[in-house]
Structure 1
Amino acid sequence: MFRTIRIATCVSLLGLSGGWAATASAAELKAVASFSIIADFATNVGGDRVEVTTLVGPDGDAHVYEPRPADAVSLEQADVVLVNGLQLEGFMSRLIGTSGTKAPVVELTKGIEPLKASEEEHDHDDDGHEGHHHHGEFDPHAWQSIHNAEIYVKNIADAFCKADKAGCATYTANASAYVARLSALEGEVKAAIASIPAGKRTIITSHDAFGYFEHEYGLKFIAPEGVSTEAEASAADVAKLIDQVKEDKASAIFVENISNPRLIEQIARETGLKVGGTLYSDALSAKDGPASTYIDMFRNNISTMKAAILGS
């Protein structure tokens, strides 16, 4: 049945998307990226030689994504499949198997030093069973360190070079130019954080997506949910967090673009903190939003944090 749906979807795609077909023929390589941040990296490395298809789009949550038949078609036609790894994309292994793709599946976190997930991630649910979609031993949000992003980019360039040797010089040059931009961005981020007084560097977010940011840049993040948005916070978790906020004197609280804001709004009311805006954690914004690229995402996040903490 799935195969029938897949064929029907493919036919409808070809019928509706004449422009897509023309673009595909111009590109040397077809890459599928599991979510929007990886797609942006791939676009910067691939340039005009690579057609990048994104599975989990802007403002989408890879933790809870449910694949569509069209996703299997994209994987079947791909030359390279780019994923984060570290058990971020719980949907990918089944989708890869269903699609029958022969493309190499490249885990972009290979070569980074992963951070351990918090102990809460290994908790059991009310029935005593371990959470099915919880992440494993490590925190998967490695892109929240710009240094790690540079490793993602190198891994993408290597994957594209293997799949398209004729374009390798282009991919290598594009990757080098983009890494130089990332290096400049890291300087901006460190300067912005240096301007925040040490006693005001504790903030609250929806889920625990900023562990690598904390490790790299020195802000402290506390969150009612673990590293997966699928693990909902209990009333006891929220009460504990509110006590922690008062003890740690958190300076600001933020919603995330992928999360329901209600829990954060409740915590804000009970702690007297004002919601300081939206942070982009696991997904970029739409093209007309403030975080439509990885670099814009980082700039938006740091300026939003700084403005809320310093009141400017």
Structure 2
Amino acid sequence: MPKAAWKVKMILVREMKVLRSFVIILLILLLCGCGEHQLERTKVVATTSLIGSIVRAIGAERVELAVIVPSGMCPGHFDVKPSDVIKLSGAELILYHGWERWIGKLISSSKARAVMMDVKGNWMAPDVHIKAAGKIADALCNVDPKGCKLFKGNLKRYKDEIKSALGEMEEKLSRLKGAKVICSKMQEGFLRWAGLKIVATYGRPEELTTREMVRLVKLAREKKVKLFVDNLQSGPKAGLRMAEEVKAKHVTLTNFPLGETRDSYIISLRENVEKLVEALGCGR
């Protein structure tokens, strides 16, 4: 092959390689662009991890979720920060319980549709949680009708997962039946669901006067209370001194799902039950 022809051939080969690389990059960009266009995500702001855990499980990939209150904090005594207001940027839906004193500030600062999830009872109790999940699925369908089929399918799967977890916990829950406890008012609904007998309840640590503690200690001795249960978000050690006084066990349960996975509620539910079983065991 003549030298000039060989040079031309090499130039053409290099140009073809560059062109091929360009085409590949262009295709990748086009595919990524199409994927983003097809995935119509709705930004949803949830005030608590109770709402957020359900939105995450039901909304899945069609929802961009922002949760305002960290799961370890008490939403009733939460102070809204500028960074929380920023979370509302681009939101189409705000879901809240109705007892958040600060929610009005957020709603007034956003153009998003705000929907109150007025579901009574303790949301950590599975029957209440499932009812709330149904309402949240409806709210998602209203704001994103195209995703409704997905939401309803995920709702069914979520309910089935909760029922399956309950089946696995059935034997452990049976050990708790009738055990006498004194607990934080915030944990009363969950403990009643779990089958424990509530002898008395108390409020937040700042509400526990010396006189009230003396009364509860006396009652615990009279009724042979085996366990004091505190609420993580409102005072994890509020009942500890009273438990020590009567030589009862003490545990702290969470009233909100911890973590940011789609099964965070089920994980926290299991952990709550495990703590109760471990504290009471077979010796009650």
- Fold conserved (TM > 0.5)? yes
From 300, 303, 306, the counterpart of 2:271: 300
Q: Note if contact 1:153-1:175 (Cα within 8 Å) is conserved in structure 2.
A: yes
* Residue type at the aligned position of 1:223: T
* SS of 2:186 mapped into structure 1: coil
Residue of structure 1 in register with 2:117 after alignment: 108
- Matches of 2:84 and 2:266 in 1, distance apart? 27
Note the C-alpha offset of 1:286. 4.2
Q: Note if contact 1:30-1:80 (Cα within 8 Å) is conserved in structure 2.
A: yes
Q: Does 1:91 align with 2:102?
A: yes
Structure 2 alignment gaps of length 5 or more = 1-35
Higher helix share: 2
Note the C-alpha offset of 1:249. 1.6
Question: Once superposed, what is the RMSD of the aligned Cα atoms?
Answer: 2.8
Residue of structure 2 in register with 1:71 after alignment: 84
Residue of structure 2 in register with 1:209 after alignment: 186
* Residue type at the aligned position of 1:67: V
Q: Note if contact 1:203-1:252 (Cα within 8 Å) is conserved in structure 2.
A: yes
Structure 1 alignment gaps of length 5 or more = 1-22, 115-140
> What does residue range 1-312 of structure 1 map to in structure 2 within 5 Å?
28-85=41-98, 87=99, 89-97=100-108, 99=109, 101-110=110-119, 114=120, 141-196=121-176, 198=178, 201-205=179-183, 207-221=184-198, 222-225=200-203, 229=204, 232-275=207-250, 277-281=251-255, 283-286=256-259, 293-310=264-281
TM-score (norm 2): 0.77
TM-score (norm 1): 0.71
Q: Note if contact 2:205-2:235 (Cα within 8 Å) is conserved in structure 1.
A: no
Q: In the superposition, relative to structure 1, how do residues 65 and 271 fare at CA in structure 2: closer, same or farther (>3 Å)?
A: same
- Matches of 1:95 and 1:197 in 2, distance apart? 42
Alignment deviations for residues 84-125 of structure 1 (CA, whole Å, 9 cap, x no partner)? 23x2x122123322x1x2222222234xxx4xxxxxxxxxxx
- Matches of 2:90 and 2:205 in 1, distance apart? 30
Structure with larger Rg:
2
* SS of 1:223 mapped into structure 2: strand
Note the C-alpha offset of 1:34. 0.6
Note the C-alpha offset of 1:42. 0.5
Alignment deviations for residues 166-199 of structure 1 (CA, whole Å, 9 cap, x no partner)? 111111101110011122233344432222363x
Alignment deviations for residues 258-284 of structure 1 (CA, whole Å, 9 cap, x no partner)? 244443221122111233x43112x23
Kindly tell me the number of residue pairs found equivalent between the two proteins.
248
Q: Note if contact 1:109-1:142 (Cα within 8 Å) is conserved in structure 2.
A: no
